[in-house]
Amino acid sequence: MIPFISPGATLGVMGGGQLGRMFVHAAQQMGYFVAVLDADPASPAGLVAQYHIQTDYLDEQGLAQLMQRTAAITTEFENVPARALVTLGAHRPVSPGGAAVAVCQDRLAEKAHFVRCGVPCAPHAAVERADQFAAVDEALFPGVLKTSRLGYDGKGQVRIATSAELEAAWTSLGQVPCVLEKMLPLAFEVSVIVARAASGRMVHFPVQHNLHRAGVLAVTQVPAPGVDEALAQQACAAAERIAESMGYVGVLCVEFFVLDDGSLVANEMAPRPHNSGHYSIDACDLSQFDLQVRAMTGAPLVEPRLHSPCVMLNLIGDLWFRDGDRERAPDWASVLELPGVHLHLYGKASARPGRKMGHLTVTAPTAAQAREVALQVAQRLGIEAF
Ligand code: ADP
Ligand code: MG
């Protein structure tokens, strides 16, 4: 159990990206102070937190400072070395804990956990050494070869048509430990975000419908089109089982594939708030970041309620280069005049193609209206229609 840590205390977060920034905003709104640990002096969360410890994740002095300053610690970045969390966890409540984060950092461990929970995942095989190529089942082709660790936003993975391409693909990924997954016929993708307290109480957000482009989340719609009550219940129950059986504390996102035959397959999970849950800031009465604060401080967890149908559009750096090589901010005024538009920019100094610069959530009285306005926003900003 985590004894309730009252507002006025200082909370710590490992990582200073946009997820950390939105966590800082939620924590500060409730009257907490926040210390961010991130080496980047211009990190989005470091810019808005009361304290910014500018060291690497494994720097002993940095970790010691974070512990001295804070009453409880969380993470916003899933690749924080799990052992840094274990070190911190010996002295402060750390949620999620290092052991749970370690499972999420390794695609093989993650899949093994899904299987243990009775949740289907893609047929797969470990590809860790060249002498394993011959034994790989032909039924896994065409497939996707993914690095076991450190992949994100479609990076660290290659699609391969036949076993003849396996060696070249593995070499292109740096010959690191990988997982080969069978390419599945996706109808669409969804995710579920759960929050679990140290007491075991769990709450979840509604199922989110996610459209990825080039491996990066582009559009999230809630309520999720094409998801009936039975499928929603199946996804939420699976996400809760996955959290429960790890003894997870904090916010966890599970990404799923819905296949052409309607079946549900777990893809991967993230031990933190997730890009597909950003809509919750504007469309729910409690956001995923509010629940992250509550879970780590031992505050009661209350079921979040979607009060407005919504569409979230990711604002990727490419939108800053519509004129060619010269960086120019999109015409925000042209979209802020539309009803129900909530603009979130992460304070990143410069744009780069593929970089997540911000997001925008459109809320409306009906899903059809949210979609209609979001399509107008997309057209004005140069985002492909969905
Ligand atoms: P990342 O860590 O980069 O998000 P994912 O494993 O989620 O990696 O893969 C990114 C995207 O690639 C998925 O959201 C999905 O669109 C596609 N994808 C990944 N694995 C498969 C698969 N086995 N079959 C079909 N599509 C896949
Ligand atoms: Mg993913």
Residue 2: pLDDT over 80: no
Q: Which atom of ligand 1 is nearest to the CA of 153?
A: 3
Evaluate: CB of 354 within 6 angstroms of ligand 1: no
Best mutation site among 145, 264, 267, 269 for ligand 1 pocket (most ligand atoms within 8 Å of CB): 267
The residue extents of the domains of the chain are: 10-94, 123-182, 186-381
User: 166: CA distance to ligand 2 center in Å?
Assistant: 22
pLDDT (average), residues 175-184: 96
Atom 21 in ligand 1: residue holding the nearest Cα: 183
Any atom of ligand 1 within 6 Å of the Cβ of 78 = no
Instruction: Supply 7's token pair.
Output: 């507002």
User: Is 154 a residue whose pLDDT tops 90?
Assistant: no
The residue nearest atom 2 of ligand 1, judged by CA position, is 152
User: Which amino acid residue places its CA nearest to atom 15 of ligand 1?
Assistant: 215
What architecture is the 10-94 domain classified under in CATH?
Answer: 3-Layer(aba) Sandwich (3.40)
pLDDT category of residue 155 using cuts at 50, 70 and 90: confident
Between the CA of 144 and the centroid of ligand 1 the distance, in Å, is 8
Residue 377 phi/psi, 5-degree rounding, is -60, -50
pLDDT-based confidence at residue 132 (cuts at 50, 70, 90):
confident
- Whether ligand 1 lies within 6 angstroms of the CB of 218 is answered as no
Question: What does the block give as tokens for 103?
Answer: 């499972």
pLDDT attached to residue 20: 98
Q: For residue 154, give the ligand nearest its CA.
A: 1
Residue 257 alpha carbon to ligand 1 centre in Å: 9
Measure 25 CA to ligand 1 centroid, in angstroms.
Answer: 30
d(CA 78, CA 87): 16
Q: What is the pLDDT of residues 40-96, one digit of tens each?
A: 999 999 999 999 999 999 999 999 999 999 999 999 988 899 889 999 999 999 999
Mean pLDDT of the chain: 96
Query: How does residue 118 score in pLDDT terms, banded at 50, 70 and 90?
Result: very high
127 alpha-carbon distance from chain centroid: 25
Whole-number Å distance, alpha carbon 154 to ligand 1 midpoint, is: 7
Is the pLDDT score of 1 beyond 80?
A: no
Q: Is the pLDDT of residue 356 over 90?
A: yes
Strand order across the beta sheet in which 157-160 lies: 124-127, 178-182, 143-147, 157-160
Specify whether the backbone of 122 is left (phi greater than 0), alpha (psi in -120 to 50) or beta. Answer: beta
Ligand number, closest to the Cα atom of 185 = 1
Residue 151: band (very low, low, confident or very high) from pLDDT cuts 50, 70, 90: confident
The residue behind tokens 């211009």 is: 42
Residue 153 has pLDDT above 90, yes or no: no
| CATH code assigned to 186-381 | 3.30.470.20
pTM higher than 0.75: yes
**268: Cβ below 6 Å to ligand 1?**
yes
> For the segment 215-236, what is each residue's pLDDT rounded down to a tens digit?
899 999 999 999 999 999 999 9
In the prediction, which pLDDT does 78 show?
82
For domain 123-182, give the CATH number. Answer: 3.30.1490.20
* 325 pLDDT higher than 90: no
Q: Which of 303, 301, 190 is nearest to 250 (CA)?
A: 301
Q: Which ligand is nearest to the CA of 150?
A: 1
Percent of the chain with pLDDT over 90: 92
User: Measured at the alpha carbon of residue 72, what is the angle toward residues 68 and 74, in degrees to the nearest 5?
Assistant: 115
Give DSSP secondary structure letters for 74-136.
EES-TTS-HHHHHHHHTTS-BSS-HHHHHHHT-HHHHHHHHHHTT--B--EEEE-SGGGGGGS
CB 50 within 8 A of CB 33: yes
Per the document, the length of the chain is: 386
Confidence of residue 331 (pLDDT cuts 50, 70, 90): very high
- Ligand 1 in contact with 181 (CB < 6 A)? yes
154 Cα to the center of ligand 2, angstroms: 7
Q: What is the pLDDT of residue 215?
A: 87
Q: Strands 310-316 and 264-270, how do they pair?
A: unpaired
Mean pLDDT along residues 323-348:
96
Name the residue among 115, 178, 113 with its Cα closest to residue 149.
178
